[in-house]
Amino acid sequence: MLVWSLLSLCLSLKVVMGFNYTVANVTSFSNITDNYNYTNSHTSNDFQYMGVALGGWLLLEPYITPSLFLEFNATSKNVSDIPDDEYHYCEYLGQDEAIKRLSNHWDTFYNESDFEAIKNYGFNMVRIPIGYWAFDMLPEDPYVLGAQEYLDKAIDWAHKYDLKPGWQDKQEYVNLTLLVLQQIYIKYGSQEFSKEYGDTILGIEVLNEPLGPKLDMSKLKSFYNQSYLDARAYQDTNNTIVFHDAFQSAGYWDNFLDSRGKLSGRLQNYNIMIDHHHYEVFSSGQLGVSIAQRITNIKNYSSGLGDESSHPSVVGEWSAALTDCTPWLNSVHYGSRWEGTYPFTNNPIEDKSIGTCANINDWSKWTDQHKRVTQKFIEIQLDQYESNTKGWIFWCYKTETTIEWDFKRLVEFDLFPQPFSNRTYIKNGTDTAPDKSGASQVGMSMVVVAGVMVALIV
């Protein structure tokens, strides 16, 4: 399998709104070392991705591993005692206790046997989120070191099972991001490292999910440009540099770093990929619609990606979720749009909910119709992302309790096709057994919500 090194910096809304990058000492193409092997035959742009993300391992996600966070209110039973992210997790515990608990988590949540199983399921790459603090920290950071060691283990395991790894990174200040990226480029893009792992690291994603509508896009583009130039200056290998689309429409990045026919030699080989994320549960208008409408939405969305001209693209995150019911998905202290609970008390209809979330993770309570529409939703995404892009990366491989976000459980319950091409309902973009009902068809009590679904990538 291929491991795609996604140094994606997972910025929170608060951090993104504080984006304050200024261009200084920008490397120029003329400064890129002539030793850069731009003719390297290894390029992930020729690679068709069938990947899965290892969420919640080297970067904590409360909804993926709630047991780590529930320990905080084991005595008080007060939800306000539960931290909502890794920053507060470490801050509450202190360095000694945090490293003790996290080391145990890193040791046990993923190991070599998982990588072997991932390969056997048919995946050819993994996406590995990791915090910037695994490489460098701000003076006031409460984080603990140690995750980088496990990233190195993951690269070894991925190499052994012919998987390509990717990693992600979360940070607070963009200048620190560039320094961390330089460390990554130097370590994982060196000639020595490339001799053994050059065909394992597919590429590096420099920033995960910057919220473009809230940013000065000219500054974001300057940051992207600098990170790309640094990659070519510091690395000896020609892996792909991946840019998240910043929630811009399909085609927005077509002219960015597009050298087609304009430059020659080493300046011509950009080897850039655009990363798109697509979920259909993070706005009230996306919930409560029929599976027929969801199929249409996925086809329209994917068609737009297929029309992108200058850079290949990948759908780097997607899931089977038809609801936002998974506990803590929106935040430890948030409810859901599906139930209309805090802070979504006015969505989608004043004082009403779409339905109950009570049984979302109880497989015995799923109706046959709920199972069927979930399987169709998975199959249409596989079908369309494979047809219109360089592939897909499912979020995520396993969780402690969820179904909609857990590949292993979806396979166990015969919802995710094995092999991936063994599809029951969707053939060449068409639902061969359309459902008659026009409602959301998720098997929990609900009211039908009128409205137009608007696809949202997050």
- Name the active-site residue from 277, 278, 311, 370: 278
Minimum mean pLDDT range among 14-28, 95-109, 332-346:
14-28
Question: What pLDDT, on the 0 to 100 scale, is given for residue 10?
Answer: 29
Can you say whether the dihedral through the CA atoms of 191, 193, 198, 203 is positive or negative?
negative
Cα–Cα distance, 455 to 458 (Å, whole number): 10
Question: Under DSSP, is residue 254 helix (H, G, I), strand (E, B) or coil?
Answer: coil
pLDDT band at 76 (very low <50, low <70, confident <90, very high): low
Question: What pLDDT, on the 0 to 100 scale, is given for residue 43?
Answer: 58
Question: What pLDDT, on the 0 to 100 scale, is given for residue 176?
Answer: 80
Instruction: Tell the residue number behind the tokens 């140094």, with chain if given.
Output: 7
Question: What pLDDT, on the 0 to 100 scale, is given for residue 191?
Answer: 82
Question: What pLDDT, on the 0 to 100 scale, is given for residue 172?
Answer: 44
Q: What is the CATH number of domain 2-431?
A: 3.20.20.80
Cα–Cα distance, 243 to 228 (Å, whole number): 9
Checking if the pLDDT of 345 tops 90, the result is: no
Which is more confident, 73 or 325?
A: 325
pLDDT band at 443 (very low <50, low <70, confident <90, very high): low
Question: What pLDDT, on the 0 to 100 scale, is given for residue 346?
Answer: 60
| Through-space distance between the first and last CA atoms of the chain, rounded to whole angstroms | 26
Distances (CA, A) of 395 to 19, 50, 222, 287: 26, 12, 29, 19
Cα–Cα distance, 331 to 13 (Å, whole number): 13
Cα–Cα distance, 255 to 227 (Å, whole number): 17
Question: What pLDDT, on the 0 to 100 scale, is given for residue 180?
Answer: 87
Q: Is 356 exposed, middle or buried (0-12, 13-18, 19+ CB in 10 A)?
A: middle
Which is more confident, 52 or 219?
A: 52
Which is more confident, 45 or 255?
A: 255
Mean pLDDT on 387-406: 98
Cα–Cα distance, 324 to 343 (Å, whole number): 13
Checking if the pLDDT of 69 tops 70, the result is: yes
At position 164, the amino acid (one-letter code) is K
At position 413, the amino acid (one-letter code) is F
Please indicate whether residue 278 is annotated as part of the active site. yes
Name the token pair of 239.
């892996």
130-174: pLDDT as tens digits:
888 999 888 899 999 999 999 999 999 999 999 987 544 444 456
Q: Please give the share of the chain, as a percent, with pLDDT higher than 90.
A: 54
Which is more confident, 40 or 65?
A: 65
Cα–Cα distance, 120 to 313 (Å, whole number): 25
- Name the active-site residue from 61, 86, 205, 209: 209
Please indicate whether residue 116 is annotated as part of the active site. no
Boundaries of every domain in the chain: 2-431
Say what the pTM is: 0.86
Name the token pair of 171.
């940070």
Question: What pLDDT, on the 0 to 100 scale, is given for residue 75?
Answer: 65
Are 294 and 380 in contact by the 8 Å Cβ rule? The answer is yes
271-296: pLDDT as tens digits:
889 999 999 999 888 898 999 999 99
Checking if the pLDDT of 367 tops 80, the result is: yes
Which is more confident, 185 or 147?
A: 147
Checking if the pLDDT of 422 tops 50, the result is: yes
